[in-house]
Structures are given as structure tokens and as C-alpha cells.
């Protein structure tokens, strides 16, 4: 049993020492720094279709790597940024853009959050109005008012008589 434990520790230590040697440096996105910068700026404006909440530049999914490779090829072919965006939209739809254009198909995308907020505020106002109307308003009689005044005077006089020091 002891030899098994010692061998397990040996294997673990060997794994820990071998693993850093397998690490490699990150490969630059493009050979040319201008092309790399352009690739980064274009891919930051696009959404990863797998991760959906990450930009294409920040995602490490296989599809994101393929799309960045495709954008790199288009940049090297001399396509403009607008041509590359148009190509990606034609292939993957407006969803690939972080800021899709305002058009009838995307109206819900642009107006939806504000409409939901407005409906929520209106619902809250209606709820509060109905709740206030359902609570009966009570008026106090003259006797009840006198009792309240007497209680308040007792509280005031007892608080002024007892020092708080």
C-alpha cells in the first residue's frame, strides 16, 4: 500500500514537471502587425456563434478560430472592413454582429428591452394603484384623537424627565 502511494506521488510530480515543457508560445494572429490589428478590430465587432456573449476576438472555440482564419484570408485578399462584415452577415445573419443594423427584422432586438421595461413600470403602477384602492381609509373619532394626544404627551414628558447621560 505504501509503495502504491509513493508511486502515485512520483507520477504526479513527474506530470507536474513535464507539463510546463509542453507549453508553447501563442501564435500571432497574422504575420503583419497591421493585418493583425485589423483582424482584431473586425473580430471584436462580431459575436462568437458558439459562445454568443463573447466577441469573436475573445472566444477560443473551434468555430471562432475558423471564423478568424476566414477573416484573416479576406483581409489578405484586400477586402475592406465593410466587405468582410457584409460577407459574414450574408453567411451567418445579423446575429453575428454585436451592433446589428436597425431594420424591420431587428426592431424587436433594439426596441424589445425598452418595451419590456415600460411594460414592467406600467404593471407596477397599476398594481400599486389597485392595492391603495383596496385598503379602506379609516377616520379617527374625537375620542380616539384625544387618547392619541394623551399618549404622545406622556411619552414626551417621560422622555424629558429621564436623562440619557
Whole-model pTM over 0.85: no
pLDDT by 10s per residue, the chain, length 165:
666 666 666 666 666 665 554 444 444 545 678 888 888 888 888 988 888 788 888 888 898 899 999 998 999 898 999 999 999 999 988 888 888 888 888 788 788 889 999 999 999 999 999 988 887 778 888 999 999 999 999 888 877 765 554
d(CA 107, CA 88): 20
Domain around 62: 26-101
DSSP letter at 102 equals -
Number of domains into which the chain is organized: 2
Q: Residue 88 domain-assigned?
A: yes
Q: Residue 139 domain-assigned?
A: no
What lies within 8 Å, CB to CB, of 48 at 6+ separation is 54, 55, 56, 58, 59, 61, 63, 64, 67
Q: Residue 113 domain-assigned?
A: yes
Whether 50 and 71 map to the same domain: the answer is yes
d(CA 111, CA 17): 55
Whether 107 and 95 map to the same domain: the answer is no
Q: Residue 42 domain-assigned?
A: yes
Amino acid at each position: 500500500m505504501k509503495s502504491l502511494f509513493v508511486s502515485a506521488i512520483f507520477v504526479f510530480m513527474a506530470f507536474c514537471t513535464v507539463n510546463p515543457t509542453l507549453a508553447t508560445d501563442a501564435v500571432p494572429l497574422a504575420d503583419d502587425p497591421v493585418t493583425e490589428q485589423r483582424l482584431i478590430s473586425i473580430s471584436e465587432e462580431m459575436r462568437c456563434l458558439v459562445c454568443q456573449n463573447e466577441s469573436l476576438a475573445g472566444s477560443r472555440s473551434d468555430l471562432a478560430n475558423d471564423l478568424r482564419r476566414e477573416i484573416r484570408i479576406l483581409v489578405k485578399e484586400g477586402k475592406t472592413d465593410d466587405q468582410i462584415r457584409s460577407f459574414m452577415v450574408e453567411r451567418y445573419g445579423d446575429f453575428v454582429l454585436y451592433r446589428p443594423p436597425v431594420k424591420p427584422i431587428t426592431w424587436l432586438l433594439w426596441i424589445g428591452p425598452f418595451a419590456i421595461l415600460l411594460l414592467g413600470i406600467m404593471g407596477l403602477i397599476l398594481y400599486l394603484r389597485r392595492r391603495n384602492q383596496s385598503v379602506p381609509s379609516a377616520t379617527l373619532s374625537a375620542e380616539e384623537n384625544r387618547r392619541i394626544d394623551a399618549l404622545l404627551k406622556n411619552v414626551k414628558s417621560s422622555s424629558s424627565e429621564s436623562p440619557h447621560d
